[in-house]
Amino acid sequence: MILDGKLSARVAEIERLSPTLKRFRFVPEKGGAFPTSPPGAHVLVTLRGPDRVWQNAYSLVTPPDQRDHYAIVVRRVPDSRGGSHFLHDRLEIGDAVELSAPASLFPIASLARKHILIAGGIGLTPFLSYRPVLASRGAAYELHQFCAPDEVETFRGLLGSDAAGIHVHGVGRGERPDLAALLADQPLGTHVYTCGPQGLMDAVEETARGLGWTPHAIHRESFGGDKGGEPFTVTLARSGRSIAVGASQTLLEALEGEGIEAPCLCRGGACGVCLLPLVEGIPDHRDHVLSDAEKAEGRLIATCVSRARSETLVLDF
């Protein structure tokens, strides 16, 4: 059932994959089917705790044509803002949840001659919905999953890594993947996709560019994860309300915590839906949407990831 743009669902299954990873399966609350999801799609999951509400974006790991249920895989992280802890520690089978309709900002390039998928840790999740699509198209692809040595078997289990082109690499602390070896000497028309820690995605992009890859052949997916910063205050010019933004809180979370329905979609600074006009203050831009010129102008801010370099910001909102 779809109400106010939300999908009403309930938790049908919770599976522990490792000490820190769980797979959650959701089914429609009133039966029937969910909308078809594009490959690489994510949903916003609304989590209602006793003291606050979270809206977190998670990649669907189910195939795009899987409509009787959706599934996500979530890591419980020590420095979570609360969403992963709520999912791991509080959510139970039978609980009701609200999901957004699936959206994809990380599509498969339809004209690519070959696809190289590079994931780090839980960044594997969007590629789990890529694989059946690439296989059905008979597309040439490689998937390289980088993870801690003690999680190699967990990710092999998710991937069925006996399949051709699937590689799970255990990387110890301080080790760096040899990305140049993966990206050099690829056929013309190859595209690379990366999702995972910021450092890995930056390294993939820098390596590809250094090898002469064109920008349109390099794709990345981010769901935020930026560190916080100094607290600041945001004032909403239309109402005059002033809201404190904590050191480990995003601007978007601060607005939502005060009951303000601010626009959002990806929550990772990649889509531009959350951009709001900036009237006063110095922004700390952390998004991947605004151009360098737009960031220098300082007229817009992506509330889901960006912060303030000044003590206050004033938004035209």
| Domain ranges (residues) in the chain | 2-100, 114-221, 232-315
Residue 65 confidence (pLDDT) above 80: yes
Predicted pLDDT at 1: 45
Residue 77 confidence (pLDDT) above 90: no
Query: pLDDT tens, 213-271?
Result: 999 999 998 765 556 789 999 999 999 999 999 987 889 988 988 888 888 888 888 78
In CATH, the architecture of 232-315 is Roll (3.10)
Predicted pLDDT at 269: 82
CATH topology of domain 2-100: Elongation Factor Tu (Ef-tu); domain 3 (2.40.30)
CATH topology of domain 114-221: Rossmann fold (3.40.50)
Higher pLDDT, 286 or 52: 286
Number of Cβ within a 10 Å radius of residue 116:
22
Percent of the chain having pLDDT more than 70? Answer: 95
Judged on CB neighbours under 10 Å (0-12, 13-18, 19+), 8 is middle
Report which of 119, 171, 159 is spatially closest to residue 135, judged by C-alpha positions.
159
The residue type found at 259 is: G
Report yes or no: 191 and 112 within 8 Å, Cβ to Cβ. yes
Judged on CB neighbours under 10 Å (0-12, 13-18, 19+), 248 is middle
In this structure, are strands 166-170 and 190-195 parallel, antiparallel, or unpaired?
unpaired
Q: Both tokens of residue 13?
A: 């299954």
Query: pLDDT tens, 258-297?
Result: 888 888 888 888 788 899 999 999 999 998 889 999 999 9
114-221 with 232-315: one CATH topology?
no
Residue 2 confidence (pLDDT) above 60: no
**Edge-to-edge strands of the sheet including 300-302?**
242-245, 232-236, 312-315, 275-280, 300-302
* CB-based burial, 158-193: b 16+ in 10 Å, e otherwise: bbebeeeebebbebeeeeebebeebbeebeeebbbb
Kindly report the average pLDDT of the chain as a whole number.
Answer: 91
Gap between the Cα atoms of 143 and 127, Å rounded: 8
pLDDT confidence bin for 29, thresholds 50/70/90: very high
Task: Please state the rounded mean pLDDT for residues 30-43.
Answer: 93
Q: Both tokens of residue 305?
A: 């990831």
Gap between the Cα atoms of 205 and 295, Å rounded: 21
Residue 3 confidence (pLDDT) above 60: no
Query: pLDDT tens, 176-203?
Result: 999 999 999 999 999 999 999 989 999 9
Number of Cβ within a 10 Å radius of residue 154:
17
Query: pLDDT tens, 111-160?
Result: 999 999 999 999 999 999 999 999 999 999 999 999 999 999 999 999 97
Predicted pLDDT at 135: 92
Report yes or no: 216 and 228 within 8 Å, Cβ to Cβ. no
Phi, psi of 70 (to 5 degrees): -115, 155
